Amino acid sequence: MKTGVDETDIEILKLLQKNAELTNKEIAAQLHKAVATIHERVRRLKEEGYIKRVVAILDRKLIDKSLISFSQVQLNDHTAESLQNFEREVAMFPEVMECFQMTGQFDFILRIATSDMEAYTSFYREKLARLPNITTVQSFFVLSEIKSDTAYPL
């Protein structure tokens, strides 16, 4: 971890990763620190980029996004311009939750959330497959979710 944080900062980050709704007062009580101290540290952690944003994590089944797939994408052309064009286009698709450039046989892996196989097929045919420069798409569908965590170990 970067050297700009101490043990108190790490404890604040651990608490906020588990529950971002904690107030500065609640964090201060758990860490036995003054509320003003916690307020200043949280502000600094945000300013320095340790805390990128605060979000609500939704239950995907309750919002009708039950089908999760991981699609590996291989591109034909690997020029900087081609890679940037693919990244820009795929980032605009709301179904794509994550996109990572990878080493190995495939260039990118996408985590895609849709309501069902029909919605995935529509996404694939109408959006992903229409992007230029794609050679291969290999998709894997999640059968069950054993662990899903958003907190990094600190």
- What is the residue-averaged pLDDT of the chain? 96
* pLDDT value for 3: 73
42 and 92, same domain (yes or no): no
Report, as an integer, the average pLDDT of 79-104: 97
53-to-46, 56, 102, 113 alpha-carbon distances in Å: 8, 10, 25, 21
Question: pLDDT digit string (tens) for 124-149?
Answer: 999 999 999 999 999 999 999 999 99
Residue 147 domain-assigned?
no
What percent of the chain stands above pLDDT 70? 99
Residue 34 domain-assigned?
yes
* pLDDT value for 94: 98
* Pairwise CA distance, residues 10 & 23, whole Å: 16
Question: pLDDT digit string (tens) for 63-91?
Answer: 999 999 999 999 999 999 999 999 999 99
The domain spanning residue 31 has which CATH number? 1.10.10.10
Q: What domain count does the chain have?
A: 2
Note whether 90 and 110 are within 8 A (CB): yes
Residue 44 or residue 3, greater confidence: 44
HSE, CB side, 13 Å, CA atoms: give it for residue 49. Answer: 2
* pLDDT value for 2: 66
72 and 41, same domain (yes or no): no
